[in-house]
Amino acid sequence: MDERNGRFLGVQLEPQARRRRTPLQTQDFLHGTGVSGMGQRASRIRPRIKQGLAAIVFAAALHAEVRLPAILSDHMVVQAGVPVRLWGWAGPEETVTAHIGAAAPVVTKANAAGKWQVFLPKLAAGGPYTITVNQRAIQDVLAGDVWVASGQSNMAFTLARSDGGPEEAKKAAFPRLRFFKIPNTPADTPQDDVTGTWEALTPENAGKYSGVAYHFAKSLHLERKTPMAIIQTAWGGTNCQAWTRREALSSDANLAEYVGRASKTPQNVASALWNGMVAPITLYPVKGFIWYQGEANMRVPDAGLYRKLFGAMIQDWRTQWGQGDLPFLWVLLAPFGAPAADLPLTRESQLETLRLANVGFANTMGVGNAKDIHPTNKKTVGERLANAARRVAYGSATAPVSPVFRQLTAEGAGLRMWFDNAGAGLKIAGDPEFAFEIAGEDEKYVPADAKVQGATVLVFAPSVPEPVFVRYAYRDIAPDALYSVVGVPAAPVRARLGRPK
């Protein structure tokens, strides 16, 4: 039995249909001798009483009251292809019986604290199903892909506020596309439950959910024609350390200072949102994560530390879910004038996480707003995240994703930049002035000319005969000049000749 987190323990027994039940012992309740003239009648009544009491006792054992977490409720979507995990609370050492539809039930027993969990057989994508736990029936359950959508305001940004959102919401009749939204809940210690309800998307409710998550899920749902679900747990203005488990921070000398760092707001205390908005759902199997955050960490020195912090959070979330290297997809911060921050360094820190397995991203170059940190074009962002999912989670080798710098080589008086994910090649779009820059050992950058050849770009400048450094789009608001031939912008980069990526 999975004893992860030490929160829900129980002994799962073999399915009830295969158990050999021993007769219930009722004689202690029925002993005694008959009264003269009543013997025959008593002998006929006694077995009936025994049968009635046996039925009552057995029914009580089978249908004892249990409490389920809010996420295990009507209209939920369980992750297809993995065992269905249920957990909750009951009386100490109380028997809990669960089953899907008419399938053979599985029995477990609560521990001394009343906590229990059970695994039911995995389901193929589809439904609806009914899951019964003692007397509790969870209705209209689907099996499909479940994604956790988290981060700060750009993930919480609603469909209703997005470009074209009100019109999109009017068309959002998707009974097999569902959301569970977790309210803003900071906590000092890890919690066992959240509040919230599952909803199928309708024109009446679609506008209140994340615009990015909506377009992400809709794109995959329509293509794959299977149920899709979003667990939305996002809060505007929050930093990454608030979403990271305390133990993950304290175990790294570079991150430990976050644990004791004071905050003016409870939601930005280290681990506060992990405790209240993530820990309660880690027992719920998922397909992966989408993440839009970083704006609250782009001041110095946090911008440089973000590469360690963000990577540590990704790895720890995966550890806590216990499903291996789950796909983790994030959004590159959009162009924005941020004079008090280091936005290019923050983006560079984000890109460092691509070294981890099963990590992808959506590039926001071209969709930003120089005067607003909240770009309203959430459709493009969500659909680019969906393409990253097609690559990382669904095995596509051709879904269009952002070209990413791989290596730098010297060539005459110039430098050649090599890119991955370039597909059929790269192209320069628009005015590339100031997009590419090179420098010698003095690191004094000057604008460079650029010539595209296949999946490479040759950059050079007459004033720098021996270039060593190169930058592309390494500014708060940089020209997004380099694209794949299918129109996906390349990621920004800063590199030095002879230094591994």
Do 372 and 246 fall within a single domain? Answer: yes
311 with 195, same domain: the answer is: yes
Which has the minimum average pLDDT: 99-108, 235-244, 365-374, 416-425? 365-374
Q: Of the candidates 343, 361, 392, which is a domain's last residue?
A: 392
Task: Judge if 367 and 470 occupy the same domain.
Answer: no
The answer on 427 and 311 residing in a single domain is no
If phi > 0 it is left, if psi is from -120 to 50 it is alpha, else beta; for residue 127 that is left
Higher-pLDDT residue of 46, 304 = 304
Q: Answer whether residue 257 is part of any domain.
A: yes
- The answer, yes or no, to whether residue 265 has pLDDT greater than 70, is yes
The reply to whether 276 falls in a domain is yes
What band does 368 get if pLDDT is binned at 50, 70 and 90? confident
- Specify whether 209 is located in the same domain as 347: yes
**292 within some domain:** yes
Residue 262 has pLDDT above 60, yes or no: yes
Q: List all residues 6 or more positions away from 116 whose beta carbon is below 8 Å from its beta carbon.
A: 8, 9, 10, 66, 87, 88, 89, 90, 94, 96, 108, 109, 110
Residue 154: per-residue pLDDT: 98
**Are 78 and 141 contacting, i.e. CB atoms less than 8 angstroms apart?**
yes
pLDDT of residue 430: 73
pLDDT at residue number 6 = 45
Whether residues 282 and 178 share a domain: the answer is yes
What pLDDT digit, counting tens, does each position of 416-460 carry?
999 999 999 999 987 788 899 999 999 999 999 999 999 999 999
Domain that holds residue 451: 404-496
* Residue 91 is assigned to a structural domain of this protein: no
In a shared domain, residues 174 and 271:
yes
Phi/psi of residue 486, each to 5°?
A: -95, 5
Q: What is the CATH number of the domain that holds 302?
A: 3.40.50.1110
In a domain, 243, yes or no: yes
Write the single-letter amino acid at 60: A
Q: Give the pLDDT of residue 26.
A: 30
pLDDT per residue over 89-145, tens digit each? 999 999 999 999 999 999 999 999 999 999 999 999 999 999 999 999 999 999 999
Asked whether 439 and 495 are in contact (CB, 8 A), the reply is: no
5 pLDDT exceeds 80?
no
Quote the pTM value.
0.88
Co-location of 314 and 440 in the same domain: no
Q: How far apart are CA 417 and CA 406, in angstroms?
A: 8
Instruction: Based on the fold, state whether residues 408 and 474 are members of the same structural domain.
Output: yes
Domains in the chain, number: 2
Any domain includes 96: no
For the domain that residue 461 is a member of, what is the CATH number?
Answer: 2.60.40
**Both 375 and 427 in a single domain?**
no
How high is the pLDDT of residue 223? 98
Whether 415 is covered by a domain: the verdict is yes
Q: What is the DSSP string of 209-233?
A: SBHHHHHHHHHHHHHH-S-EEEEEE
- Kindly state the average pLDDT of the residues 243-271: 97
Q: What is the pLDDT of residue 279?
A: 99
453 and 311 co-located in one domain: no
Tokens of 311: 């990577």
Contact (CB, 8 A) for 211 and 157: yes
Same domain, 438 and 356: no
Does 341 have pLDDT greater than 60? yes
Domain boundary among 365, 392, 419: 392
**What is the pLDDT averaged over residues 159-168?**
98
Tens digits of per-residue pLDDT, 196-232? 999 999 999 999 999 999 999 999 999 999 999 999 9
Mean pLDDT, the chain, rounded, equals 90
Residue 110 to residue 90: CA distance in whole angstroms: 6
Residue 501 has pLDDT above 80, yes or no: no
Establish if 73 belongs to a structural domain. Answer: no
Q: End of a domain among 371, 392, 413? A: 392
| 43-94 confidence digits (pLDDT tens) | 444 445 445 444 444 444 444 589 999 999 999 999 999 999 999 999 999 9
